[in-house]
Amino acid sequence: MSTLPPRLSVITLGARDIAALRSFYRSLGWPELPASDDGWSAFLLGGVLFALYPLPELAAEAGPGVAAPAGGWSGVTMACNVDTRGQVDTAFTDAVTAGATVVAEPTDRSWGGRSAYIADPEGNRWEIAWAGTAVFDERGALLSFG
């Protein structure tokens, strides 16, 4: 049995321009922690801390001896699941209005849900999704999926 518990506590994005990313995520209405600044910023989202940290410093800490990656999509997506099928479209529109780049318009998916993809100002991909089997608690934390 591993002593590493099965939980996700923090997601940290290495940011090229923290000020721009902070501004974008605040414009979505996400609650930023009071201790945040342009050296480190964090948002508490449904029980997971979503953090922004300078990319060169994160690369030095998490990958000593490895250069920070160049720009472009990393191949990782994050997702924000919403409560109803229709909320995919409205959340997508709100994100684009806040400055997100359209990656894929809202569409019904073969797996029975609906989703769309956006990119933040540094190209990090977010899926906005609805899955009828997802169950959330009062904080928005995912309790079960399917």
**Structural domains present in the chain:** 9-56 (3.10.180.10), 73-135 (3.10.180.10)
CA distance 31 to 46: 11
CA distance 30 to 78: 15
Q: Per residue of the chain (146 residues), what is the pLDDT tens digit?
A: 789 888 899 999 999 999 999 999 999 999 999 999 999 999 999 999 999 999 989 988 888 887 777 777 778 899 999 999 999 999 999 999 999 999 999 999 999 999 999 999 999 999 999 999 999 999 989 999 97
Place of tokens 């899955």: 131
Going 6 to 56 to 118 to 90, the CA torsion angle's sign is positive
> Do residues 119 and 92 make contact, with C-beta atoms less than 8 angstroms apart?
no
Residues 6+ apart with CB under 8 A from 138: none
pTM of the model: 0.90
